[in-house]
Amino acid sequence: MKFELSPKLRADLVCYAGINLSGERRVVDIHVVSGRQGADVPTAELKSLALIAPLGTRMILKTWDGEDWEAHPWRCIRIVKGHCFRNKEGNFVVRVPDLETLDKPDAQRTDPEREESYPLVEKLSEGTGWTFGREGDLKGRVKVIVIEKEG
């Protein structure tokens, strides 16, 4: 899996091989100076995740690594006030227990009675809220993870 990272960004990405933040766990540390460290994340093994990052950070999960990536399934997850929580260390966190459904940003498990999609948009620039994207299968298909500061 390919990572595209903003310079001077500090974040942690915790990836899980199963939905509901279960299965094999892989932690990717993103450091201000040294960049990405930690485990590789095989594409087939990304089904749920947690992003720990400062307010104003966004992550884009892309299933296509090309200029026309917005024509393929993708999802944007943002760390924004009111749609994240703080962990015991005081860092901002968003959890995504299923890459293909909309759950609350602090959910540990996907709600089987809700099973609704995140808001759908055609282009990244059209998205609002803490999460949105283009419809399609994401689990086991993410090729590129972009983590960047907004603005």
Please give the tally of structural domains in the chain. Answer: 1
Q: Is the pLDDT of residue 120 over 90?
A: yes
| Model pLDDT for residues 73-97, shown as the tens digit of each residue | 999 999 999 999 999 999 999 999 9
Cα distances (angstroms) measured from residue 30 to each of 51, 85, 145: 11, 20, 12
Buried b (16+ CB within 10 A) or exposed e, 15-30: bbbebbbeeeebebeb
What local confidence, expressed as pLDDT, does residue 90 receive?
A: 96
When the pLDDT of each residue in the chain is averaged and rounded to a whole number, the result is 93
Integer Cα distance of 142 and 49 in angstroms: 12
Which contiguous run of DSSP H or E holds residue 17?
Answer: strand 11-18
Is 80 exceeded by the pLDDT of residue 101? yes
Positive or negative, the CA dihedral 91, 94, 97, 103 is positive
Contact call for residues 41 and 61 (beta carbons, < 8 A)? no
Residue 44: its pLDDT value, please? 87
Domain housing 93: 2-149
Flag whether pLDDT at 50 surpasses 80.
yes
Beta-sheet strand order (sheet of 92-96): 35-38, 22-31, 11-18, 48-52, 92-96, 85-86
How far, in Å, CA of 70 to CA of 63, rounded?
Answer: 9
Burial of 61 (0-12, 13-18, 19+ CB in 10 A): buried
Block residue for tokens 């609350």? 104
For the chain, what is the radius of gyration of the CA atoms?
14
pLDDT value for 151: 76
Query: Is residue 114 within 8 Å of 27, Cβ to Cβ?
Result: no
Mean per-residue pLDDT, 26-32: 89
